[in-house]
Structures are given as structure tokens and as C-alpha cells.
Structure 1
Amino acid sequence: MVRQELVARQLEAQITGRFPVGQRLRVLDVGMGQGTQALRLARAGHQVTGVEQDPTMISAAREAVAAEPEGIRERVRLVQGDGRDTGVHFLPGSFDVVLCHGVLMYVGDPDALLAGLARMLAQGGLLSLLVRNGDALAMRPGLSGDWAGALDAFDTVSYTNRLGLDVRADRLDTLTATLAGIGAPLHAWYGVRVFTDTATDGAESPADVEALLAAEERAGRTDPYRRVAALLHLCGVRG
């Protein structure tokens, strides 16, 4: 909940600051999962295309879309496919906003994927990435008292996620250089889950959840806190 809510607020701030009020945007959500962000944007009036490879996830997304009112359903298109094949499904410059959240950690070499996503953007379009923070991998084991795990995490960008999968993280400096190289230089970045990364999966929301979100939101845009967040939310702009 914290991740989805914070990313939505940060994304809304970027969209509001970049596009005219009331403009209906063309949005591509690559690796949309269950469609949480896609539906939120569709409810705001935008035309959203979601791409998802996992059959279970896209089935859940279809069920979520089907439960929406007709006007919102009409603004959502779902495509089952690999995010690396956007050039097969769409023309360059077809979208104002491209989301790629929680995907890069599963891609061994993300440069080709990112270049393809940048090509999907119209001039001035916004590329939104959510990645595991490779500069803060020692934080979770360290705060949990796993000192050996913390020491091992300093010298790697590989880690095992909560699903038990061996994946990789991304460093801010590396992605900043990559975004510049693909013509969508970094415009803004945030930390996500500065204080709540060690919360257990399925934990109930606290009674003061709004205060929690306010603290996370403030930390996510403030140095030095955002630099040790579990996740990084990077926003590049197509030049």
C-alpha cells in the first residue's frame, strides 16, 4: 500500500507539473501487474494501455478492469506480452507517459528495454521507473540484525527478493547516465519506503496511516533520507 500510494502521488505531481490541466494523456504501463497504477490513471481520465507477461497478473488485471464502470473500462486496453517487444505492438512516439515499475530487477541487461521505452514517448513525454535501490541493499538486513547479510550487500547489486527469486538492483548514478544516453534525461527522483521496508508482508495498516504516508513522502524527496530508500522512483523526460 505504501509503495503504490507514494508512487501515485509522486507521479501525479510530475504529470501536473508537466502537462496542461485537463489534458487526457496516452499512458503505457509496462509490467502493469494487477493494474493498480493503470486503473488509477484511467479513473483520472487518461487513456491507458497495460502490458503484462504473467498470465496470473493479467488475469487479475482483467478482473479489476471488468469491475470498473463502463467509462473507465473503455479507457483501458490490456496486452499480454513482453515489455521488450513494445516496438512490435506500438509506433514510436505513441505515448505521453510510460511507466515501468518493478520490472528492471528481473532484467539482466536493462539498457535495450529502456531504449525501447524511450522510443515510445512523444517529445516532452515522461518516463517513470521504479527500481530497487542498489546503493541501499545493506539497509534491510542491517535493520533486521543480519550483520553478515548487510556486509555482503555492500559489494553487489544482486539480492534475493521476498518471493525468493534472485534478482538485481539499480544504482542511481548508473540509471542517470542511461537515461541521458537514451534521450530521456533524469528530471526528478524520489525514494520510496524509507521507513517501512522492514514491515512484514500482509501487515495491517496502522491507525495513523496518513501520518505514516506523510513521513514517507517527505523523506522520499529529502536528502539524505531518500538515498537509503528501498526503492527509487526516477522520472525522465524525452528531449
Structure 2
Amino acid sequence: MARQLDEQIAGRFPVGQRLRVLDVGMGQGTQALRLARAGHRVTGLEQDPKMISVARDALSGEPEGIRERMRIIEGDGRDTGVHFLPGSFDVVLCHGVLMYVEEPDPLVAGLARMLAPGGLLSLLVRNGDALAMRPGLSGDWAGALGAFDTVNYANRLGLDVRADRLETLTATLAGIGAPLQTWYGVRVFTDTTADGAEPPADMGPLLAAEERAGKTDPYRRVAALLHLCGVRGGTA
């Protein structure tokens, strides 16, 4: 995700430009902190008090310059219009949030309104066109058969959530004036890795393989997650 995001930022903004970044559903602040360290001014929006506490603890250990560039706001991604004026950000991230939202279109439209012209919208969603892959590769044939005709599934936390199809989100982004420019697959080869499994001593080959597959058909189409990048006022 970090490599993909940096690739998009580098390709759309002048080198050295300090960007205004909004991270909606920032979780523990992994991407938000990384971008603040890179010199950008970052606002993290999160509704889970535990995640906010983790993010604030991590931020407190950073140098003063980084702490000054990042702020954390408690809130829901659906109320961005309450907290911010339209066009306030150059980059808006919404990673791992849409699967918890029953009707994603209003949320995505609200995120697009936060973008300045030419701004980048980065979405990470569960791939609704590949829900049968995880149970199928695990030998759960009944689960695989049941996944073909739905976008609903139970995640690893046991929660009933939903996935998004590439075609549907492409139409949504076009309709809100932030058409899809690029998309990637995420977790092409590693989705069935057991929770808590020890990573390989040398992560380089694994990351290189995932990065290559995430840009290459047909591999990216069966990834567990999709990373979609739309541009405000762009052309499809």
C-alpha cells in the first residue's frame, strides 16, 4: 500500500510539495504517521477510542516537527462535511472502511468533496469479484460456492461485512467527479497466510512479488483487496 500510494503521489504532485492529507478511518495511524514523517500535513479521522489512543501514543514519540504536522480528530468518515470545508485536502485516504458501510456511495461522494481540484482519492476495499478465492484456496468448497453470487461475507473478526466490485466503484467514482485513474491488487499471494505466522527473514522477494502481481493482470483481479485511485476533476 505504501509503495502504491507513493507512486501515485509522485506521479501527480511536484517533487517536494507539502500536501494536505486526510486519512479517514486512520486506525492506529500507520499511513498517517508515515506521510507526516515525509513532510506532509496530515489529519487523521477515527471513531474508535482504542485506535485513537494507539495513534496518539505513537505520535507522542515522534519529534516535535512531526507532531506539529499531524492532528487527530475523533469522528466518523460520513461527517467530513461537519469538520472540513470542501476542497480542503490534496489527498484523501479511506483504507479498510467501506466494508463496514452498508451504503458506500454517500461516503465516497463526501470524501471526493474534500478534495481540491486535481486531488487524489485513495480507497482500499475488499474485492467483491474474488470472494471465493480465500475459502477455495483453503479447501472450503461450500464456502467458495456460496461466495460467487454475493458481496457479503464474514471477516476474520467474525463480523458480517461487505465487499465492493471494481466495476461498481468505477462507476461511482466517475459519477462524483473523481474518475478512476489507476487500481492495484493487494494481498494477491499472501491472503491465506495464517494469522500470527512468522514473516520470512528476507521480506524483499515477497514484497516484490506482491507489488508486481498487484499491477499485473490477471493476478490483481483475484487479489483479496483492491486499491483504487481516483482524481478530482480527472478524466477516466
Aligned counterpart, 1:236: 230
* SS state at 1:91 partner: coil
Q: Does 1:180 align with 2:174?
A: yes
* Deviation at residue 140 of structure 1 after TM alignment: 0.3
Give the alignment partner of residue 125 of structure 1, picking from 111, 115, 119: 119
Aligned counterpart, 1:207: 201
Runs of 4+ in 1 over 6 A off after TM superposition: none
Aligned counterpart, 1:194: 188
What is the letter of the counterpart of residue 187 of structure 2?
R
Q: 1 CA distance for matches of 2:175 and 2:217?
A: 25
TM-score, normalization by structure 1: 0.97
Give the alignment partner of residue 52 of structure 2, picking from 47, 50, 58: 58
Aligned counterpart, 1:95: 89
Aligned counterpart, 2:134: 140
Aligned counterpart, 1:115: 109
**Unmatched segments (≥5 aa) in structure 2:** none
Q: 1 CA distance for matches of 2:66 and 2:162?
A: 35
Q: Does 1:26 align with 2:51?
A: no
Q: Deviations over 1:84-119 (max 9, x none)?
A: 000000000000000000000000000000010000
What is the letter of the counterpart of residue 76 of structure 2?
D
* Deviation at residue 204 of structure 1 after TM alignment: 1.6
* SS state at 1:131 partner: strand
* Deviation at residue 208 of structure 1 after TM alignment: 2.8
Q: 2 CA distance for matches of 1:203 and 1:55?
A: 28
Q: Does 1:11 align with 2:30?
A: no
* Deviation at residue 145 of structure 1 after TM alignment: 0.3
**Unmatched segments (≥5 aa) in structure 1:** 1-6
Q: 2 CA distance for matches of 1:22 and 1:104?
A: 31
Q: 2 CA distance for matches of 1:172 and 1:213?
A: 23
What is the letter of the counterpart of residue 146 of structure 1?
D
Q: 1 CA distance for matches of 2:149 and 2:202?
A: 37
Query: Over aligned residue pairs, what C-alpha RMSD do you find?
Result: 0.5
Aligned counterpart, 2:36: 42
* SS state at 2:8 partner: helix
TM-score, normalization by structure 2: 0.98
* SS state at 1:197 partner: coil
Q: 2 CA distance for matches of 1:197 and 1:145?
A: 14
* Deviation at residue 226 of structure 1 after TM alignment: 0.1
Aligned counterpart, 1:4: none
* SS state at 1:49 partner: strand
Q: 2 CA distance for matches of 1:67 and 1:168?
A: 36
Q: 2 CA distance for matches of 1:204 and 1:99?
A: 29
Q: Identity over aligned residues, as a percent?
A: 85
How many residues matched?
233
Aligned counterpart, 2:100: 106
What is the letter of the counterpart of residue 93 of structure 2?
L
